[in-house]
């Protein structure tokens, strides 16, 4: 529609106030009278009010009228010349009373299936009409829905509707918009329609996992469903699919383990999956044509169809994701799901906006969309039904699919109360549940003190945060040329000592997610090709091993990017969210070429798991038993003591300089690890340049 040709617009801006906008190209925007036409009562009510002097809309004359009206009814505004337009209720969602009037705490939104009938419920309090359209036996059938309490529209349809496709037709002013069901459990390919499924057919037994006593016992390994298996080197048949994770005895070209077998012998405890909910920019019927990581959510309630063998099969959408998680659980691996509850790919096209316009997305004071995400919109997580929706979806992924934790993308956009409720809900179901995320302070239209940022971590003591101080100090910033301690900037030695113990940043040590590499930005290997261009390949790899050792042995929670342990490369590219499989797919043959480093990581993980001093969960215990020292302004001495474990005492030397540094060794210490196979001679050890040495007693 051409906006400039619209002569009159009318909005309910409060529950007893209407604003009418009359084009100044139409009778100079002047009308002596306005009426409210009630279609249900077939009556015309004269409105009384005033013309407003406003510069906000220079092309329209604005009028304000105070009058009561009933939600769910269809009204028109009529002027003195007979011009009319429908009254639009969508702006009422911005009123402070809206949540109080229309918050719905029921657990029955979506479709509830039995063989005898299916009941459909959708929360659409601003709508004047909702029609259920189902596609059964290639025939469209329409069912008017009845408005109930709190603006929930409902209808029950007799008969067995299993695997029936459906949409909602929702009217807010003049036209109907087609919407998916935001609470459906399945949908057809590329979001064409929602699908009715029988939940009794997707119940899966859950593995009983040993409890995670402390968050610092976790060792997190991040991967993408697609990247994990897509390469021809993966040895997996179901490339880019959920089912690749349940394949057994897969191997590289040289016959060494890949996939699930590899993950289970690496020693990690948690697999963090990049988004698996339905995302927008991959054609689910032609999934190899386009690539995306999945941080472009189209829906939060169903799985991504390109990861399923048949995206039009409602049951496979659920069951193949369940099988993946079941397979990981069978190897003792918990699963963390990366969730993107900060923005949607397109405000106008998703079911949230279409069911309740203007409600689910945060607004600036001038009414424009908040854009802290830099993706065009921010989810309005303080709105009660938006918060409930996030909680309902988090519960679904945990209960139906078996998820063991969440990693929140751009968590700084989400309010602290919502995050605390997500964490409490998860732990009420599973005491070992973990929640962490990106605590960057994004410029969203939410006051800073309410944001779940790393600066506000003491307000959310049970939530973990990606530690960018740890990353930038040890590796360097995201600028390719910048150096950190382990890339040779020994001026950062003292800061690196702080990063390894993490004593000051957080309310508690388990909040520190320690990483130097993740899906975002360049891999450490690629970064060192730029920042350390003047060093040979072997020296660069020594530096990468030092970074891995620091991640695994530091106090806090270690986080490893898939392939980091065999020097993953993306050809020097940084933000590869849509760069394709050739860049992003995991090259499993590279694992064989760097098997020494993989085994080194396995050794470090074993050391961490079998010695509590590397994973203390209390700051006071750390202060009593752990210390760091600066040796020769270039090397870190990391000393640890424990009462129970393989050893009583450890001394770890991180030498990021190119100099050999000699240290005295106390009686009783033996050398567990030295990357140059050094020896203790006469109670002295020469720690080679760019080298890790671990002594134990």
- Token pair recorded at residue 240: 């880019």
Catalytic residue among 227, 312, 438, 517: 438
pLDDT tens sequence across 73-87: 999 999 999 999 999
Burial of 329 (0-12, 13-18, 19+ CB in 10 A): middle
Q: What percent of the chain has pLDDT over 70?
A: 99
Kindly report, residue by residue over 312-324, the tens digit of the pLDDT: 999 999 999 999 9
Cα dihedral: 555, 556, 558, 559 (round 10): -140
Sequence-distant (6+) residues with CB within 8 A of 678 are 671, 685, 686, 687, 688, 691, 693
Q: Tens digits of per-residue pLDDT, 45-99?
A: 999 999 998 777 789 999 999 999 999 999 999 999 999 999 999 999 999 999 9
Phi/psi of residue 118, nearest 5 degrees: -125, 130
- Residue 284: predicted pLDDT: 97
Residue range 229-252: mean pLDDT, rounded: 98
Interacting residues of 608 by C-beta distance below 8 A, sequence separation 6+ = 219, 552, 553, 558, 614, 615
The tens digit of pLDDT for each residue in 553-583 reads 999 999 999 999 999 999 999 999 999 999 9
Query: Residue 191's CB: how many other CB atoms inside 10 A?
Result: 19
pLDDT of the residue at 56: 74
Q: CA–CA separation, 198 vs 331, rounded Å?
A: 29
Cβ neighbours around 609 below 10 Å, total: 16
Query: What sign results for the dihedral spanned by CA atoms 164, 165, 169, 170?
Result: positive
Tell whether the model's pLDDT for residue 335 goes beyond 60. Answer: yes
Q: What is the mean pLDDT of the chain?
A: 96
pTM (predicted TM-score): 0.96
What Cα–Cα distance (Å) separates residue 488 from each residue in 155, 474, 530, 648? Answer: 67, 9, 13, 31
| CA dihedral (255, 260, 265, 268) positive or negative | positive
pLDDT in tens, 470-482: 999 999 999 999 9
Predicted pLDDT at 678: 76
In which band, very low, low, confident or very high, does the pLDDT at 680 lie, cut at 50, 70 and 90?
confident
DSSP 277: B
Can you state the angle between helices 314-330 and 259-266, rounded to 10 degrees?
Answer: 40
Residue 518 to residue 222: CA distance in whole angstroms:
7
| Whether 244 contacts 255, CB under 8 Å | no
Q: How do residues 402-456 score in pLDDT, each as one tens digit?
A: 999 999 999 999 999 999 999 999 999 999 999 999 999 999 999 999 999 999 9
Instruction: Report the pLDDT averaged over residues 144-169.
Output: 97
Report DSSP state, residue 172: S
Can you tell me the distance from the alpha carbon of 140 to that of 119, in angstroms, rounded to the nearest whole number?
Answer: 18
SS3 assignment, position 451: strand
144: left (phi over 0), alpha (psi -120 to 50) or beta: beta
What pLDDT was estimated at residue 409? 98
> Length of the chain, please?
697
Q: pLDDT tens digits, residue range 266-319?
A: 999 999 999 999 999 999 999 999 999 999 999 999 999 999 999 999 999 999
Q: What number is the average pLDDT over the span 598-615?
A: 97
The reported pLDDT for the residue numbered 1 is 55
Mean pLDDT of 109-116: 98
Q: How confident is the model at residue 677 (pLDDT cuts 50, 70, 90)?
A: low
CA–CA gap between residue 348 and residue 278 (Å, rounded): 16
Residue 50: strand pairing partners: 64
The residue to which tokens 């949908």 are assigned:
187
Residue range 532-545: mean pLDDT, rounded:
98
Q: What is the pLDDT of residue 676?
A: 64
Alpha helices (runs of H) in 78-200, residue ranges in sequence order: 98-102
Please state the φ and ψ torsions of residue 125, each to the nearest 5 degrees.
Answer: -65, -20
Q: What local confidence, expressed as pLDDT, does residue 39 receive?
A: 83
Tokens of 125: 């309090």
| pLDDT reported for residue 693 | 97
Tokens 């020292």 belong to: 629
Per-residue pLDDT at 5: 80
409 noted as active-site residue: yes
Given the residues 404, 409, 415, 423, the one annotated as active site: 409
Per-residue pLDDT at 173? 83
pLDDT tens digits along 354-378: 999 999 999 999 889 999 999 999 9
What would the mean pLDDT of 150-171 be, rounded to a whole number? 97
Q: SS3 helix, strand, coil % of the chain, rounded to 5?
A: 30, 25, 45
Q: Which of 171, 189, 197, 193 is nearest to 181 (CA)?
A: 193
Domains for the chain: give ranges and CATH numbers: 3-88 (2.60.40.2320), 100-179 (2.60.40.10), 623-696 (2.60.40.1180)
Do residues 400 and 184 lie in contact, with contact meaning Cβ atoms separated by under 8 Å?
no
* Distance of alpha carbon 481 from alpha carbon 640, whole angstroms: 34
Encode pLDDT of 518-533 as tens digits.
999 999 999 999 999 9
181 is catalytic: no
């Amino acid at each position: 529609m051409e906006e400039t040709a619209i002569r009159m617009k009318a909005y309910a801006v409060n529950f007893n106030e209407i604003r009418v906008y009359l084009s100044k190209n139409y009778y100079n925007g002047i009308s002596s009278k306005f009426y409210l036409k009630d279609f249900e009562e077939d009556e015309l009510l004269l409105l009384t009010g005033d013309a407003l002097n406003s510069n906000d809309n220079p092309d329209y004359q604005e009028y304000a009228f105070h009058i009561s009206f009933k939600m769910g009814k269809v009204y028109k505004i009529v002027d003195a010349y007979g011009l009319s337009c429908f009254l639009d209720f969508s702006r009422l969602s911005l009123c402070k009373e809206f949540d109080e009037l229309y918050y719905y705490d029921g657990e029955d939104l979506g479709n509830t299936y039995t063989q005898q009938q299916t009941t459909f419920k959708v929360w659409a309090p601003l709508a004047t009409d909702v029609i259920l359209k189902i596609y059964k036996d290639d025939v469209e059938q329409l069912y008017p829905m009845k408005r109930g309490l709190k603006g929930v529209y409902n209808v029950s349809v007799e008969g067995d509707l299993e695997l029936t496709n459906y949409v909602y037709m929702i009217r807010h002013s003049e036209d109907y918009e087609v919407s998916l069901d935001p609470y459906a459990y399945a949908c057809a390919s590329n979001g064409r329609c929602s699908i009715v499924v029988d939940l009794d057919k997707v119940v899966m037994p859950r593995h009983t996992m040993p409890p995670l006593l402390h968050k610092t016992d976790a060792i997190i390994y991040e991967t993408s469903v697609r990247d994990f298996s897509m390469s021809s080197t993966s040895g997996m048949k179901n490339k880019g699919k959920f089912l690749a994770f349940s394949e057994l005895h897969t191997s590289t070209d040289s016959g060494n383990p890949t996939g699930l077998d590899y993950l289970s012998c690496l020693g990690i405890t948690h697999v963090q999956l990049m988004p698996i909910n339905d995302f927008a920019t991959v054609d689910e019927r032609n999934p190899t044509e386009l690539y995306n990581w999945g941080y472009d959510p189209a829906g939060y309630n169903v799985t991504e169809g390109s990861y399923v063998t048949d995206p039009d099969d409602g049951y496979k959408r659920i069951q193949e994701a369940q099988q993946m998680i079941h397979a990981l659980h069978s190897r003792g691996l918990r699963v963390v799901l990366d969730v993107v509850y900060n923005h949607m790919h397109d405000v106008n096209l998703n079911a949230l906006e279409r069911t309740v316009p203007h409600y689910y997305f945060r607004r600036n004071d001038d009414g424009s969309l908040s854009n802290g995400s830099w993706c065009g919109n921010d989810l309005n997580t303080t709105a009660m039904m938006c918060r409930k929706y996030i909680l309902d979806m988090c519960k679904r992924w945990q209960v139906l699919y078996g998820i063991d934790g969440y990693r929140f993308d751009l968590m700084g956009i989400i309010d602290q109360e919502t995050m605390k409720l997500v964490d409490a809900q998860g732990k009420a179901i599973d005491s070992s549940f973990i929640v962490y995320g990106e605590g960057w302070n994004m410029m969203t239209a939410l006051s800073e003190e309410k944001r779940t940022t790393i600066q506000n971590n003491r307000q959310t003591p049970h939530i973990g945060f990606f530690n960018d101080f740890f990353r930038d100090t040890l590796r360097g910033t995201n600028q390719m040329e910048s150096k950190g301690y382990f890339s040779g900037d020994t001026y950062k030695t003292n800061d690196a000592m702080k990063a390894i113990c993490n004593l000051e940043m957080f309310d508690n040590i388990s909040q520190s997610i320690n990483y130097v590499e993740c899906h975002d930005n360049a891999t450490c290997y690629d970064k060192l090709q730029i920042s350390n261009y003047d060093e040979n390949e072997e020296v660069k790899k020594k530096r990468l091993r030092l970074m891995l050792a620091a991640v695994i042995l530091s106090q806090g929670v270690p986080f490893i990017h898939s392939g980091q342990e065999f020097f993953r490369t993306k050809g020097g590219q940084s933000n590869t969210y849509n760069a394709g499989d050739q860049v992003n797919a995991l090259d499993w043959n590279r694992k064989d070429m760097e098997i020494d480093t993989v085994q080194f990581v396995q050794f470090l993980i074993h050391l961490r798991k079998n010695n509590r001093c590397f994973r203390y969960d209390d700051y006071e215990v750390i202060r009593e038993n752990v210390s760091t020292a600066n040796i020769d302004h270039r090397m870190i001495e990391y000393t640890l003591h424990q009462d129970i474990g393989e050893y009583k005492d450890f001394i770890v030397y991180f030498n990021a300089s190119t100099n050999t540094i000699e240290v005295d060794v106390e009686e009783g210490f033996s050398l567990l690890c030295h990357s140059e196979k050094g020896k203790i001679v006469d109670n002295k050890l020469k720690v080679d340049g760019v080298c890790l040495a671990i002594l134990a007693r």
